[in-house]
Every structure is written in structure tokens, then in C-alpha cells.
Chains A and B, each alone.
Chain A
Amino acid sequence: MEELIKSLTETFGPSGEEETVRTMIADLVRDRTDRLFEDSLGNLYAVKEGDRPRIMISAHMDEIGVMVTSIDENGFLRLAPLGRVNPVMLLGQRIRFKNGLTGSVYHEKLKDLKELDWDKLYADVGQKDAASAEGAVKIGDQACLAQPFNSLPGSRCLAKAMDDRAGCAVLIETLRRLPARLPQEACFVFSIQEELGLRGAKTAAYRYEPDFGIAVDVTLVGDTPKASTMAVSLGKGPTIKVKDSSILCHPRVRQLMVETAKKNDIPYQMEVLERGGTDAGAIHLSREGVPSGAISIPCRYVHSPSEMIDLKDAANAVEVLVKLLTKEWSFSEESNVF
């Protein structure tokens, strides 16, 4: 799975520019699905056909990034954030555009670093004037962070965009492991624009009309020096979400996840995330309501150029999902709450 996470995280895909990631994933899962298609906004659906209930499993393809809003006469670029990006995280970093162009991000003269904000920040792509800069990059172009994937001694690794390519990798690996026929239908959705407000999952859930929803994303941890209190640590297993700011997970879906992990001796942690949201937040409010839950991969330094996960947690997330999807979910059309 390490190779998969490496190639996914090193791919270009800020919110709204998920095309490269989408093509890559489509090629990886094509021969493991009965039906593969994308919709008008760019969500990718990989369906393993079967009887109801229909379970939608969603991980988002997009990563945080920046957009060029103006180019000045000396060729410097002004930036706006794509998703929740702290400008401090960009200082001295390199950014990369779709065409491979890289640039350095720096700040205007400041009395105090506290004054740092987006209007004090610029990118330098090494062009001497507006004309040459405009030849290389256009207003509205998007860029992502440029850090490579690094494997660390033990089972941990660092990369940009672990949020949520690690989740995409879990979905892809699960698809590879699943048998040809499942007791019910499963649709793996690789969604767009999650970082801008769960937008892709909203329209995908409307289109697919699932009976149940599961999001796979990264979550925050509380195991770093003087971190905010949170009972989640790296390496202690994937988390089963209780709540975040977008959803209170359905108690029966949560229970099903806990039972499955316990029965199969897969390590897991319970996750109560005080801030942040995930695709399940959009799925559970679609149409008449969809009982939903989420499985997360603990991740340090989320929304920074160097996000860290433990590969064991990702592997165990695959275990939980495989066991969850190969068991029969009880369901009735009148009341889909089991």
C-alpha cells in the first residue's frame, strides 16, 4: 500500500483540479468494478453491482492548495486559499502548478509575523515581468504544495495530501481485496471539492441515492507535544467516528463498525472530532436522509506540507472495510434502519 499512497499523494489535485487524480484512480480500479463513470462535476463512481441496500463509500480526491488571483508588473503572483490553509504553512514552501511549474512562497516586509495574511503573501515563479509570468501561468490557475513522499523508519510516512489520498488508497485497496460478488451493492465514490465544503459528496449522494453512507478520511490526533486534548493516536488503529462538525454518525452504523472490528480483532479507536467535517456530513442529509458513518486514518499535521500517517492504520482501515462490506447488512425498504 505504501507505493499506492506514494503515487497518489505526489499527484497534482487541488480542489477543482482533480482530473489527474481521477484518471489515475480510474485506471487502478477499472478491472475491479462492474460500472465506472464520472458525473458532470467530476466525481468518480466505481460500482460493484448487487441487491439493495446500496452502500456508498466516499473518499475525496482533492487536496488543499492555492489559486492565482493576480499577476503584477514584476511577475509576482498573488494567491487565494483553496480550503482551510493557514498562510504560515506556506512560508518558504514550494508550490507546483499542473504544468509542472514550481514557485517559492514568501511574504512582504512585516513588522511582526502576526500580520501575515493572504494579502501580504506572494509567489515567485522566477519571471522578470508580467508578460513572461503570464506566459507560464494564468489568473485562476491552481497550485498544490510540492513536497515528495518520504518513508520513515518503522511504519510511518510523510507526504502532502495524505488528506485524503490516504483515504483514496484505502478505497482502492479495499476494491482489490473484495470478492467478485457482495451480499449487497457497494459504490465507491472518489469525490471532488471536499475541502471547499463537502460539495462533491452532496451531488454524488443525490445521484446515487444510497441506503447507507460511509466516508473514509483522515482525522486529527492528540498525541503530539502539548496538543489539544483528543483521544486519538497514530498507530493505534483506524478510528470509528462518533461525531465532527458535519455529522453525528448514525448509532447503528457506528455499532456495526465496532462489532466488525471487535469480532475480527482489528485495532480501532473511537473518534470525537471537535472541528472539521467529512463527506458523511453531506451524504447523511441527502434527499430523505441516509444513515451514515465514517472511518478515519489518524494523521498528524493535517493541512500542512508534511502530513504524517502510520501505514498500519491505513491497512487496518482496509481490513475493517473488507469485513464490513462482505457481511450482509439487514435492510427493509420501509425503514432502512436495520
Chain B
Amino acid sequence: MLSELADIQGVSGDEAKVRRFISEKLAGRGIETSVDTMGNFIARKNRGKLATPPMLSAHMDEVGLMITSIRQGGLLNFQTVGGIDSRVLVAKRVKIGREGLRGVIGAKPIHLQKKEEQEKPYKQESLYIDAGFNSREEAEKYISTGDYAVFDVSCIKMGNGFYRGKAFDDRAGCLVLLELLLENSDLCFNAAFTVQEEVGTRGAMVTAYTLQPQKALVVEATASADTPETEKEMSSTILGKGPAISLMDKTILVDRKMRDELADCAVRAGIPFQFRRFTGAGTEGGAIAYSREGVKTAVIAVPCRYIHSPHCVLKESDLQATVSLARAWLENNQ
């Protein structure tokens, strides 16, 4: 299911296909679902059992590109949606618009570059998408300004339980929530599959206001820097060591009792875990924690290498341990 989820096109603001996939998976399972005006998808498992069920949150959207104009010769200008390092863009294959037209991100080849151009990475303004059009008029028949483009890659399983694919941030989180919704249990909780996290945690502001939880757990994918050149004490998270429990990020300082509760749940159930040793970047944690009168909120994440690039790498055992930790936390809050 990770491959299926990761391969869906769903850049911020265009999450409909992800929402449809989740909705179809949950159909006929006796779970109450709804969609709000922004496009957030809410699933309430065993509704009515608890007065204020705990909330789980994962975002459906991924980082991607948006077409901003079409050049005279039919090449497409674009902007990034969400944080993408423009140095990873050149020569990547993309799918454009609802029809998923094929294209490639082009730039001036090495032969034609001046020496000083060779010494610097491409700036985003000098890149464009080439979808094989001969003229603007021809391109306009298929593409309009505002269309999205996503990386054209398929998720695959590598050796030793590693997966490679796009959009693990945060389809990995979506998968965790789906697993917990689909399994046979009498756990009562509300799951929010949110929109527009990558452009400022916007969906979660609305879902937290709607659901009014007392406690919430955000399930994310977080950057890992466990490659050889990183000193151990500087690596944020390490693949294979289980879900990363956040201390704080730009949006939230995680409630100490919540952090301790998660660590206790993990220890009691024998689930591996680590702390996220980096305190930058943002999650939906803040949008939920400071909603209305305040919500006790924590963030756990599947460690993920090369995040926000076309090829993220995660480890299956981390994903499973994240499901186990979220389940243990829910059991503790029934």
C-alpha cells in the first residue's frame, strides 16, 4: 500500500486523488467519514465510544511544481510548491496536469555553459519543463497556467527492507493512519488526512478547530542525516531505529508529559524509538497545539532520507514500529 499511496499525484492544493484513494479503502468498513470545504478528509473510528476522542493527523499533500507561464517556443516556466531544493530539479522527469503529460526539467547543457556557469548550481529561474511542444499555441491546448507537475517516479522496494519513492512525506503518515483505521479494533479515535501542510500547515488549523480534541498525535516523515559524513551527534534521525519523537520544531514545543507518555508506551510495548535531534523545520503540531484553548500535542515521524526530493528512502521496520507506537498511544488514551 505504501507504493500505491506514494505514486498518487497530490501536490498541495490538489489532494483529490489521495483523498479518493483513502476514501475507497475505508468504504464499507463502518467508519464515519466526511470532507470539509478545504478538502481535509476526516474519519471517525468507533464514534460515540469516547466523548472527546484523541486525534491523529497526517497530511495528504506532497511538494511539487506549478506551471506559471508558457514560453513562446512551448517550454513551461514553473514555481516550486513547498520547500524543494532547486539543485535536485534538473533533468528530472515530471508528469504535468490532470492528464499526467510527460515532461522533463531542462536546462542549458554543460557544452554550452560558460566556465562560471559550470561552477554554480542552476538557479530555479533558469530551469523549465520541456513537454515536447513546438509552440505556445500548441502547449496551450494541453496545459494551462496553474496546472501542477509532480515527479514522475514509481515507488520500489530495494534490498534489506528499504523503499525508494517520492512523497513519503507524508504518505507514510497517511499509511500509518489507514492501517490503524482498517484493522479490527475497538479503538476510538478521529483521523484527519489534511491538505496544504507543505505550504504552511493550513489544513490542520481547520481540522483541529473542527475536531476540538484534548490530545493529538501528528504522524509525519522527517529528515534523516545518517549518512557517513555526518557526525553522529549531528544526525537528526537514523533509519532503522524506529519512529522519531519530536522535542520541538519551529511550530511546536512538545508537551513534556506527552513526550514522556510516548516514550513509556514504546518501552512497555518493546517498540524501538529515537528522539529527533533537530529542532528546525515545521509540522502540523503547532497548528493543532495552539488551536482554540490549546491541545496537548506530540509529533512522531518515520525517519526518511533525501526528503523533499524525487527519491526518498525509508525502512519498512520503521514504518511498522510507527504503526505500533501510534496504536500503543491510542490504547493508552481510551
Contact = CB atoms under 8 A, between A and B. Distances in A.
Indicate the size class of the contact surface on chain A: 20 to 34
18 contacts: A15-B253, A16-B253, A40-B214, A40-B296, A41-B255, A41-B289, A69-B279, A70-B233, A70-B277, A72-B232, A78-B234, A139-B275, A139-B277, A196-B253, A199-B286, A199-B289, A203-B292, A207-B293
B277 A69 contact: yes
A70 to B, nearest CB: 4
Interface string B238-272: 00000000011000010110010000000000000
A67 B247 contact: yes
Contacts of A16: 248, 253, 255-256
A140 interface: yes
A29 interface: no
Interface in B278-334: 278-279, 286, 289-296
A39 interface: yes
B293 A203 contact: yes
Given A39-B293, A78-B234, A203-B292, 12 more contacts: A15-B253, A16-B253, A16-B256, A40-B293, A40-B296, A80-B279, A82-B248, A82-B253, A140-B247, A140-B275, A196-B253, A199-B289
A291 B255 CA distance: 31
From A17, A39, A139, name the one whose CB has the most chain B CB atoms within 10 angstroms: A139
B75 to A, nearest CB: 40
B10 to A, nearest CB: 29
Interface string A62-100: 000001011110000010101000000000000000000
A202 interface: yes
B290 A203 contact: yes
A82 B233 CA distance: 19
A55 to B, nearest CB: 19
From B232, B292, B294, B295, name the one whose CB has the most chain A CB atoms within 10 angstroms: B294
From B214, B286, B290, B291, name the one whose CB has the most chain A CB atoms within 10 angstroms: B290
A44 to B, nearest CB: 13
Nearest to B234: A119
Nearest to B235: A70
Contact of A199 (B277, B290, B292, B296): B290
